[in-house]
Amino acid sequence: ARAAAASAPITDGALADGAAIPLLANLGKPEGAEEAVELGAEGVGLFRTEFLFLSSNQAPTVEQQRESYIRLLSAFPGKKVVVRVLDAGADKPLAFLNDAHEENPALGLRGIRALQASEDILREQLTALAEADAATDADLWVMAPMVATVAETEYFVDLARDYGIKTAGVMVEVPSSALLADRVLAHADFASIGTNDLTQYTMAADRLLGSVASFQDPWHPAVLRLIREVGAAGRETGKPVGICGEAAADPLLAVVLVGLGATSLSMAPTALADVRATLLQHTLDDAKAIAEAALAANDAAGARAAAQAAAT
């Protein structure tokens, strides 16, 4: 029975009415690719590139990066692979890029801000990505972290296009870009919502600080409203809106996220099976009703309870 289960084909992510919701993997190293495929990942929704930079006190070479990206892309022929350019700073500090003396590093020079200030690093990364793209058959999408303004969106998307990147987008993980998602998506090819940081910045609670950990809950209706804003902008502009924060790995919250307009979900590969099974139990109309119930609550616990009641 075990062998039969292991060899049974894993279906693609879909709702009960057949609407496709691609289920993708979050990966932190190319070595995780094969396991993700075995667990049914239809592609990669977030490839974090920090590992290339964290192990050393200088930036990796273009060649070193290209090798890693080729290793990753080769595991997903014909599939979508979303690579995030370096997200340095705050919870991922880099000695050669970040100022260790910032008092509030989560509010400091991090993500796209740090890359814009050290543009050579971004240019080298885009060079390596474009070269890896040319050498492989995956459908490469590239996105920038911590984008807070329309100007940063334009800056990144235009630069990525200069390097021949065909699909360039941004992470929505700062409330300002969620609130202006229509204008962000006027420039970007896609948005991917990072619910970890979006929750941290919406609730003004450091995601690394145990004493305020209870605030770090993506079920909070304030966070859900921002996600709804991005979902609506995605529908208006006809552009994809993915989710790549931890929230997508919570099966009931995954249904809510789809109800709010998410068009794909990316998560730790071990979470894929449960999310796949739960999505199959609900139509898109169900998901919208469950999301409405969650949005109407006053707090995270209330939203979870309301969604649970609406889902049964």
Positions touching ligand PEP (CB under 6 A) are 46, 48, 87, 173, 194-197, 244-245
Contact partner, 244, from ligand PEP, Mg ion, none, Cβ < 5-8 Å per class:
ligand PEP
Q: By rule CB under 5 A, what count of residues binds Mg ion? A: 3
Q: Are 112 and 153 in contact (CB under 8 A)?
A: no
For residues 271 and 293, which CB has a smaller minimum distance to ligand PEP in the complex?
Answer: 271
Nearer to ligand PEP, 257 or 311 (CB): 257
Q: Coil, strand, or helix at residue 281?
A: coil
Does residue 197 belong to the site contacting Mg ion (CB under 5 A)? yes
Nearer of residues 75 and 172 to ligand PEP, judged by Cβ: 172
Query: Which listed option, ligand PEP, Mg ion, none, makes contact with residue 245 (CB within 5 to 8 Å by class)?
Result: ligand PEP
Nearest residue relative to Mg ion (C-beta): 197
How near is the Cβ of 281 to ligand PEP at its closest, in Å?
25
**Nearest-angstrom CA–CA distance, 196 and 106:** 12
Do 139 and 162 touch, CB atoms closer than 8 A?
no
H/E run at residue 183: helix 181-187
Query: 296 Cβ partners below 8 Å, 6+ apart?
Result: 221, 306
Q: Which does 118 bind (CB under 5 to 8 A by kind): ligand PEP, Mg ion, none?
A: none
From Mg ion, ligand PEP, none, which one binds at residue 48 (CB under 5 to 8 Å depending on kind)? ligand PEP
Which partner in Mg ion, ligand PEP, none is near 46 (CB below 5 to 8 A by kind)?
Answer: ligand PEP
Q: Which is nearer to ligand PEP, 271 or 311 (CB)?
A: 271
Give the span between the Cα atoms of 116 and 110, in whole angstroms: 10
Rule CB under 5 A: choose which of 13, 194, 251, 259 binds Mg ion: 194
Q: Which single residue is written with the structure tokens 């029975």? A: 1
Write down the least CB distance from residue 267 to Mg ion, Å: 14
Query: With binding defined as CB under 5 A, does residue 246 bind Mg ion?
Result: no
CA R_g for the chain: 19
For ligand PEP, give the closer residue by CB, 160 or 198.
Answer: 198
Q: Taking the complex as a whole, how short is the minimal distance between the CB of residue 216 and Mg ion, in angstroms?
A: 12
Q: Which class for 16: exposed (0-12), middle (13-18), buried (19 or more C-beta within 10 A)?
A: middle
Provide the minimum distance between the beta carbon of 50 and ligand PEP in the complex, in angstroms, as a whole number. Answer: 8
What CA–CA distance (Å, rounded) separates 130 from 142?
10
* Closest CA relative to residue 45, chosen from 196, 267, 239, 234: 267
Given Mg ion, ligand PEP, none, residue 111, with its beta carbon under 5 to 8 Å by kind, binds none
- 11 CB contacts (<8 Å, ≥6 apart)? 276
- Phi and psi at 265, nearest 5°, equal -130, 135
In angstroms, give the least distance from the CB of 266 to Mg ion. 12
Picking from 129, 83, 84, 82, the residue whose alpha carbon sits closest to that of residue 111 is 84
Note the residues at the interface with Mg ion (CB under 5 A): 173, 194, 197
